[in-house]
Amino acid sequence: MQQKLKVTVGHVFKHSASLSLLNAGDQLRANTDFMRRLRQGRHERLRRELRRHNVSAAVIFDPINVRYAVDFRSMIPFYLRNPTQYLVVPADETSKSLLFAGSFGSDALLADFNGTLEFHPAVGATMASAGPREDEKIDLWVEEMDKILGKLAATSPHGKRVAIERFQERATRGLRDRGYDLIDAQIPIEYARSVKSEEEITAIRYGIKVVEEGVHRLREALAKPEVNITENEVWSILHATVVACDGEYVETRLFNSGPKTNPWMQESGTRKITAGETVQLDTDVVGPFGYYVDFSRTFTAGYGFEGFQPSEAQKKHYRLALEMVAHNMALLKPGATFANVTFNAWPIPEEFQDHKYHVQTHGTGMTGEYPYIFHPSDWESHGYDGEVVEGMTLSVEAFIGSKFGGEGVKFEQHGVIRKNGFELLSTGVPPEDYLLAGEEKFCVSK
């Protein structure tokens, strides 16, 4: 008889500290008061933004925004390309939000919304779900939505002004033909998501610890002098850790080595890693509770063997990346304008301008999100102003890669804006002593 392999969590987490991390997540999820505050706080903030933007309701298709609004977790990557699940959120606090889905949530989720959330079957108005009947199903969707939105409009001071996310052109045209004034729902949603409650920050802290555990395990795999494993093999360690701790997925494949480290944005593949090469990663994890964890680290493969010495170029580029992040983190305080942060940013040397990361700082919530704070050289073409606000969670970026070639260095920190400035959250994977080589340690908590 063939022996069955018994797989337990110990296959992924071998240390007691790692198992306690799993238990901490379970305890948070089991804390009904915490989960209720987390869910209700987001839902109420979204409704406030809808009222601020003078709309009577929002129609939401993006499953990440659905999760933000009502914490409904169901096949997020699938629904990102199949808009057959959607949510109507009224701006009026007394009206019920309506979730249209093929699968329904738990009684506990409904209870947390105190009767202000209802489930309904969805109309599948896409080519895959309706085939040659797509137009018929879209017309049915419009008719059904008109009944719902019309009732909300009748009692709202904003009437038929409605926020909606991208959907089939025939559907949005059908609503306009019925008198609706449609705006982009991403605008109020992004503003709502940009400021976090203490419950959200608690969930983010936990997610960062999970991802740091995965990065530590990944780093250990690179310590051996022979290395001789592929990028994909090492990168899979982070994926396994995220899934074991009830996270969602890793959004990108930004893990690379050697000549693939410059320019940035080259993805993990089957290339074998050689001792002495630079290895760098950007976590980009949609983790536990649906929150994004976004920090970057750079290592040198084979750093664990006796007598190991990184090259002078590796150390120089690493120091510059840490200097850049430390300088730009110090600019992030409540009330600082995006323009002020942009034009007081660390001056990137000309050699590294062409390969710089496309933003210096960005919002980090359930994904990378508003705001984007650009470099001075890109202000005219891409920049916009705004204000850093207490409660924003931001990631501060650096990529140092020469236009003349050679290896690059990616470094990034994830933190939250407090009344006194930027509180660093991604503290669990500190800078590499062997790459600093006696230099001052940067990127300490502010």
Q: Do 262 and 389 fall into the same domain?
A: yes
In the block, residue with structure tokens 């169901």:
74
Residue 444 predicted with pLDDT over 80:
no
**Parallel/antiparallel/unpaired status of strands 409-418 and 421-424:** antiparallel
Residue 7 predicted with pLDDT over 80:
no
63-78 pLDDT, tens digit each: 999 999 999 888 899 9
Sequence-separated (6 or more) residues with CB below 8 Å from residue 238: 211, 214, 215, 217, 218, 250, 255, 281, 283, 285
Taking phi first (over 0 means left), then psi (-120 to 50 degrees means alpha), and beta for anything else, what does residue 71 get?
left
Residue numbers of the domain that contains 189: 31-193
Average pLDDT over residues 285-311: 93
Q: Domain for residue 282, yes or no? A: yes
Contact assessment for residue 212 and residue 293, using Cβ atoms and an 8 Å cutoff = no
Angstrom distance (rounded) from CA 346 to CA 399: 12
pLDDT, position 105: 56
Q: Do 366 and 421 fall into the same domain?
A: yes
280-293 pLDDT, tens digit each: 999 999 999 999 99
84-111 pLDDT, tens digit each: 999 999 999 999 999 998 765 556 666 6
Average pLDDT for the chain: 92
Angstrom distance (rounded) from CA 17 to CA 245: 13
Average pLDDT over residues 215-220: 96
pLDDT confidence of 441, banded at 50, 70, 90?
A: very low
Bridge partner residues of 119 (DSSP): 99
**What tokens does 27 get?**
């305890």
Domain termination site, one of 141, 169, 193: 193
Q: Domain for residue 23, yes or no? A: no
Q: Do 82 and 201 fall into the same domain?
A: no
Q: Domain for residue 185, yes or no? A: yes
364-399 pLDDT, tens digit each: 999 999 999 999 999 999 999 999 999 999 999 999
Average pLDDT over residues 304-322: 92
Q: Do 248 and 356 fall into the same domain?
A: yes
Average pLDDT over residues 219-237: 91
Average pLDDT over residues 132-161: 98
| CATH, residue 165 | 3.40.350.10
Q: Domain for residue 402, yes or no? A: yes
CA angle (219 as vertex; 215, 222 as ends), nearest 5: 150
Question: Phi first, then psi: what are they for 83, rounded to 5°?
Answer: -75, 60
Sequence-separated (6 or more) residues with CB below 8 Å from residue 108: 32
Q: Do 35 and 165 fall into the same domain?
A: yes
162-181 pLDDT, tens digit each: 999 999 999 999 999 999 99
Residue 217 predicted with pLDDT over 50:
yes
Please confirm whether the linkage preceding 371 is cis (ω < 30° from 0).
yes
Residues of the chain above pLDDT 70, percent: 91
Sequence-separated (6 or more) residues with CB below 8 Å from residue 245: 21, 22, 25, 210, 213, 287, 288
pLDDT, position 397: 99
Query: Into how many domains does the chain fold?
Result: 2
Kind plus residue range of the DSSP H or E element containing 100: strand 97-100
Q: Do 175 and 159 fall into the same domain?
A: yes
Stretch among 1-15, 24-38, 216-230 having the lowest mean pLDDT:
1-15
Q: Domain for residue 14, yes or no? A: no
Residue 436 predicted with pLDDT over 50:
yes
pTM of the model: 0.93
Angstrom distance (rounded) from CA 221 to CA 150: 58
Q: Do 49 and 177 fall into the same domain?
A: yes
* Burial readout 353-367 (b: 16 or more C-beta within 10 A, e: otherwise): eebbbebbbbbbbbb
Average pLDDT over residues 272-286: 97
